[in-house]
Amino acid sequence: MPELYQLSASEVSGMLVAGKVSSREVTESALAHIEAVEPSVRAFLTVTGEGAIAQASAVDKRRAAGEQLSPLAGVPIALKDNLCTTGVRTTAGSRILSNFVPPYDATVVRRLREAGLVFLGKVNLDEFAMGSSTENSAYHCTTNPWDTSRVPGGSSGGSAAAVAACEAPLALGSDTGGSIRQPASYCGLVGMKPTYGRVSRFGLIAYASSLDQIGPLSRTVEDSAMLLQLIAGHDDCDSTSAPTAVDDYLGACKSPQVKGLRIGIPREYYAQGVSKEVADAVRSAAALYESLGAVVEECSLPSTDYALAAYYVVAPAECSSNLARFDGVRYGVRSADKTGHIGLMELSRGQGFGAEVKQRIMIGTYALSAGYYDAYYRRAQQVRTLIRNEFTAAFQKYDLLLTPTAPAPAFKLGAMADPMEMKLADVCTIPVNMAGLPGISVPCGFVDGLPVGMQLIAAPFKEALLFGAAAAYQQATTWSTMLSAVATAA
């Protein structure tokens, strides 16, 4: 019999509904496990133990009183620390926000609070979500629960590590260029990046506003579907939130239809530094889909080769604009070394931001400056349009596209000294953000004992199709049932 903390969210939900266990018992099990494994995993920046117990007890009382509750009521969850939480420190992994306590909840946090989920705390990330390994956090590095000498991916590395270590059955992350899907691949999880506008960004500390999306990380496809069901939908507080109806995601998982699906294999995704072992694992997944009745064939998306370069103009440009608000005047850390408006801002930003964030701010400011805007930012946006148009044409022929999620398994902590090599870790995920599409990473095998993931991509607002196809693959394999070394340690 597995420990309570080792159960998936849907398993915990079933036991809670059946009265076999209380939310308080589940939460206490999770908190005890967090205390035991955090010295090696270091996923959390803030553990809200007392608040979690209070939330769990409140759900138990409501359930005992016969109230109709959400399917995930009483289930613990970890929150990426760039999501604002009332009364709980929210740092975005940066020194400049080390003392920031928001007076309001992000919309997704509010919806989860109303649904009765239990907040275990805030988890680590690359500073302002800028990075692919969680080594850029101002506080500490998080490790991969499958091998603690390796990175968990980024920027949602704390979210992925918490779920892979069974510290929490669910977590929320954010995805600007792969920051949910890439750590999901590294940690053997399911990670969903919804369509741009599917989930409200209100209360998410912005990195690149035209690219950011909030989404779930979990051990199973069904768990991600249940979590997205709660957070998806229009929000008047976010002008980019789409008024599109929310489909039945869990229903799509329960009756997945693969027969007759047309799946494209874009050849460009198997060339850009993707290891042979990862490519072979994804091609084996394609063969399995064929055996289930899908039609699988190779296709081409030529502009993919330019996505990484265009992204690293567009994203830093938006970062330069968004991070201008952190000036040491209105909130956040203020330098005590010098008075005077200009000196105060310079010192506060110099001391508060890390090297990666400073670099991206400078690149973005340069790209937006007079005389360079047309040469860089405008041209990058034109490439973005080409990428989007190619995806649109592809989805006239195919229902889904199947690619690797990351070029290789998780790398060693400190191994990526070359910043360009680090950025290539997101080469397979960035085009999806540039086009505003939904994508899901699902475990599809192991290379040298480390998990690897495959990525399914669909047309806008086709998350239900993704969940159905991912669930069909999950049902035909055992990858999602495997637990990391940390999760199974006594």
8 Å CB contact between 28 and 22: no
321 a catalytic residue: no
8 Å CB contact between 193 and 438: yes
Please name the residue that has the structure tokens 């969680």. 134
Closest CA to 126 of 103, 152, 149, 106: 152
Which residue among 94, 155, 185, 241 is the active-site one?
A: 155
> What is the number of alpha carbons within 13 Å of residue 257 lying toward its C-beta?
8
Cα distance between residue 408 and residue 205, in whole Å = 29
Which residue among 156, 179, 303, 484 is the active-site one?
A: 179
193 a catalytic residue: no
Closest CA to 149 of 140, 160, 157, 141: 141
DSSP 45-109: EEE-HHHHHHHHHHHHHHHHTT----TTTT-EEEEETTB-BTTB---TT-GGGTT---SS--HHH
**Alpha-carbon 430 to chain mean position:** 13
Cα distance between residue 218 and residue 26, in whole Å = 17
Which residue among 8, 80, 441, 484 is the active-site one?
A: 80
8 Å CB contact between 73 and 58: no
SS3 state at 163:
helix
Within a 10 A sphere around the Cβ of 302, how many other Cβ atoms?
12
Q: Where are the alpha helices (DSSP H) in 306-456?
A: 307-322, 341-352, 355-368, 379-397, 419-423, 430-435
284 a catalytic residue: no
Q: Which residues partner with 455 through β-bridges?
A: 403, 441
Instruction: Tell me which residues are annotated as active site.
Output: 80, 155, 179
